[in-house]
Amino acid sequence: MTVAIPHGRVVLLVTALLLGGCTRFEHPVISESAPALDEALIGHWRGDNGEYRVELEVARNGAEGKVRLTLVEGRKQPETGELRLITGRTDARTFGQVLKVDDLVPYWRVFRYQLDTPDRVTLYLDNLKFWTEAVKNRELAGNMERAELGSAHISASTEEVSAFVQKYGAVIFDEEPLFELTRE
């Protein structure tokens, strides 16, 4: 199955997961003392729109996951990165959080995922406007970064962010899917 991944959305994914660009969390939403990995995510995932190819290799690393992310644009050299992965659940929704392994200043990124079938997963980014408002309204400790992008940096503790996620559930994520991946 070939999945159409719009150019801008692919760049957004790589920027969000590898370089930053979405909400940045100093602490994970799920406690690191009890990390979990959704076994259904283990494996090799791919999305390809003819212009870009995105590959994720998800493996177990102790109680959490390890992800190798590869982006290939046409004939250019692949861009790669390695991420820690912890998954969780709020209501009937599943979410993950990743931390780039070699970041000098590590920050967690949060996303929602939905296993549509055992071999197809849809990913959703966090709702940047929601988190920005939470910081502006002092519902969570943090500050605004890169004002032109409206990027939020959340410094609240794991316990505070976890309670916030439980309170608001699905609205903390974008409603529009970022893209779909199929299992190889």
Q: Reduce the DSSP state of residue 152 to 3 states and report it.
A: strand
In a domain, 37, yes or no: yes
Q: According to the model, what pLDDT value does residue 149 have?
A: 53
CA distance 110 to 168: 14
CATH of the domain at 164: 2.40.128
Which residues constitute the domain of residue 11?
7-183
The confidence score (pLDDT) of residue 12 equals: 47
pLDDT under 50: residue ranges of the chain:
1-12, 15, 18-21, 147-148
CB 141 within 8 A of CB 160: yes
CA dist., res. 176 & res. 158, Å (int): 26
pLDDT of residue 5: 39
- pLDDT tens per residue, range 77-112: 888 888 899 998 877 788 888 888 776 777 888 888
How many domains is the chain built from?
A: 1
Widest Cα–Cα separation across the chain: 46
In a domain, 2, yes or no: no
pLDDT at res. 174:
85
Q: Token pair for residue 16? A: 């969000």
- The answer to whether residue 135 is domain-embedded is yes
For 145, other C-beta atoms within 10 Å of its C-beta total 14
| Torsion sign (Cα): 27, 38, 48, 126 | negative
| Contact assessment for residue 178 and residue 13, using Cβ atoms and an 8 Å cutoff | yes
pLDDT at 32: 66
Q: What is the DSSP letter of 76?
A: S
* 1 within a domain of the structure (yes/no): no
